[in-house]
Copies of this chain bind each other. A is one copy, B any other.
Amino acid sequence: MNTQMTTKPHERLAAYLSEDMQQVGALIRERMASEHAPRIPEVTAHLVEAGGKRLRPMLTMAAARMCGYSGPHHIHLAATVEFIHTATLLHDDVVDESAQRRGRPTANLLWDNQSSVLVGDYLFARAFQLMTEPGSMRVMQILSNAAATIAEGEVLQLTAARNLETDEDIYLQVVRGKTAALFSAATEVGGVIAGADDAQVQSLFAYGDALGIAFQIVDDLLDYQGDAKATGKNIGDDFRERKLTLPVIKAVKRASDEERAFWVRTIEKGRQEDGDLEQALELLHKHDTLSATREDALAWTAEAKSALGALPDHEVKDMLTDLADYVVSRIS
C-alpha cells in the first residue's frame, strides 16, 4: 500500500512538522498548568487532548518553515494560536449551550459554565503572555487584532443568526471573524517571524483567510448533507439551533412567500414541528442551494491555492495546496 496516497494532507504536514509539533505540545502542557487552581489544567486537558487536528498551530509552523525560519519562536506563536482557539471553543460551547465537542461531552457539561468561562479567560491571558515572548511588535498586533476580530464575528453572529435579513455579505463577515481570522493570523505570523517580505506575508494571509472561509462553509454544508458517523455532527443541528448558514441564506433569497413564511416560523420565531427539518431539506434541494454552497467552498479553495503562487517553491507549499483540497474533499 502506498502511504503517500492514503495519508491525508494534514497528516503528511503533521508528519513533516512532528518534531516542532512535539515542542508545541510540550509548551502547551507547560503553560496550561496553574500553581493554585488545578481545575484549569483539568478543563484544558479535556479539550487539548481530545485529539483535535491542531490545524491552526500547524499552519503557523508550516508558514514559518516555508519562509526559511528554523526557530525557536514559531513554537511560541503556534502555542499562542492553539490557546486562542481552545479559549474560543470553551466560550462557544457556553454560548451555544453545546453538549458535545469532538465526540465527547463538553467542558460546560462535565464541569459547569462558570469553569468554561473562567478557564477560557485564563487561556486567553496565557496566549497573550506567550505572544509577547518573541518580542515582535508586529506579531503581537496581528494576534491581538485577530482576537478582537474573532469576538466581533461571534457577537455579529449572535444578532445575525436568527435574522432573515442576514445576507451573504453578513455571513461572510461572520465567517471571516469567527473562523478565518485565526487561520489567517496563524499563517501571517509564521511569515512575519521568518522575516518574509511584505508580498509573501500578504500571500500567507490571503491563503489562511480563504482556507478558513472554505473550512467554515464546508462545516455549514455538512450540517445538512454530511455523514453523521464521519463528521461527528448530526444532520440538522444548525437548523434546530436556528442558525442561518449559507445553504439557508441562499434558499431564503430564492423563497416564495409561502417558503419565506416557513423560514420565519422555524428560524426567526423558532416554532419548529416534526417534519420541519425534512421540509427545510426539501427547500434546499428545490433551490439547489447545497450545490451552490459547495461551489462557493470550491471557489474559496481555488483562491487559497492561488494565493500560494507568490511564495517560493517548497515541499511545504505542496502540502498546503493539498491541504486546501482536503478541506473541501469532505464535500466532494
Contact = CB atoms under 8 A, between A and B. Distances in A.
Contact of A91 (B121, B125, B154): B121
Contacts of A120: 121
A173 interface: yes
A37 B88 CA distance: 18
This chain: copies in complex: 2
Contact of A34 (B38, B155, B158): B155
Nearest to A35: B152
Given A91-B117, A117-B95, A132-B144, A155 B37 contact: yes
A137 to B, nearest CB: 6
Interface residues on A, range: 35 or more
Interface of A is mostly: helix
A132 B137 contact: yes
B117 A36 contact: no
Nearest to A145: B129
A57 interface: no
Interface string A201-231: 0000000000000000000000000000000
A256 to B, nearest CB: 31
Nearest to A43: B155
Interface of A: 34-40, 87-88, 91, 94-95, 113-115, 117-122, 124-126, 128-129, 132, 135, 137, 140-141, 144-145, 147-148, 150-156, 158-159, 173, 177
